[in-house]
Amino acid sequence: MTKKQEAKIIYQEISKMYPDAKIELNYQQKHELLIAIMLSAQTTDISVNRVTKNLFSNYKTIEDFAHANISDLESQIKNLGLYHNKAKNLKKLAQMIINEFNNQIPKTQKELQKLPGVGRKTANVFLAEYYKIPRIAVDTHVSRVSIRLGLAKINDSPKVVEEKLMKIYDKDKWIDLHHKFIHFGRYFCKSRNPNCKVCPLLNICKMPVID
């Protein structure tokens, strides 16, 4: 079986398991999406949603975040990892959007990555989710699944994993693939205690079976 054939089977099987996979961060406005993605670094979407429920009630606009008191922001997001840095980046991000981007969130990856706290993954998720621009955002789940299933190598950086996935899968599948791989990695092919023995991709997986 060729790598392309394996990749097709992987997509088909994970699609059967998670046909309706989509982003699990809660948001209503464009800036809320960007902020939620930024806050999700090194923490769970569930934790972010708990925090943003009140955060977005108290800070309704980019201007509100730009004029926020850092101590108050920290207290609002203190249950998240790296909350000191995230609070600082959140205020700076809002100020930069107002001062350098005419109060408009950038629409390009290059410009988005100029914003404090916004890296490649955050920019990719935002562009794919809000503007439906084909992207594959590689987080720990996507990376782990790709490596275990032989679509990437163990030492590949997230950017290399992204490039390999984009090369092997058609562009119209990129956004959907991203969501399905995240769900598969988050709920089934977990870092600890993956469900190897009942995995439909066991014959393709390059990792030893984990009891």
Residues 119 and 38 in one domain: yes
Number of H helices, E strands in the chain: 11, 0
Torsion of Cα atoms, 108 then 38 then 89 then 191, to 10°: -130
* Active site residues per annotation: 121, 139
Cα 36 to Cα 196: distance, rounded to the nearest angstrom: 32
pLDDT at 208: 67
> Which residue positions in the chain have pLDDT lower than 70?
208-211
Residues 54 and 13 in one domain: no
pLDDT at 209: 63
User: Coil, strand, or helix at residue 23?
Assistant: coil
Residues 63 and 101 in one domain: yes
Residues 77 and 150 in one domain: no
Residues 6+ apart with CB under 8 A from 169: 7, 11, 136, 177
Q: Is 148:196 a contact under the CB 8 Å cutoff? A: no
Q: Is 169:146 a contact under the CB 8 Å cutoff? A: no
For 157-165, the CB contacts below 8 A with 24+ separation are: 158/120, 158/121, 159/120, 162/120, 162/124, 162/136, 162/137, 162/138, 165/136, 165/138
Q: How many domains does the chain have?
A: 2
Residues 122 and 143 in one domain: no
Residues 142 and 124 in one domain: no
Spatial CA neighbour of 160 closest among 108, 204, 120, 195: 120
Residues 101 and 187 in one domain: no
State the number of CA atoms in the 13 A half-sphere of 187 facing the CB. Answer: 12
Alpha carbon separation from 19 to 1, 22, 112, 159, 168 (Å, rounded): 25, 9, 30, 26, 20
Domain hosting 184: range is 3-22+136-198
38-95 pLDDT tens trace = 999 989 999 999 999 999 999 999 999 999 999 999 999 999 989 999 999 999 999 9
pLDDT at 184: 98
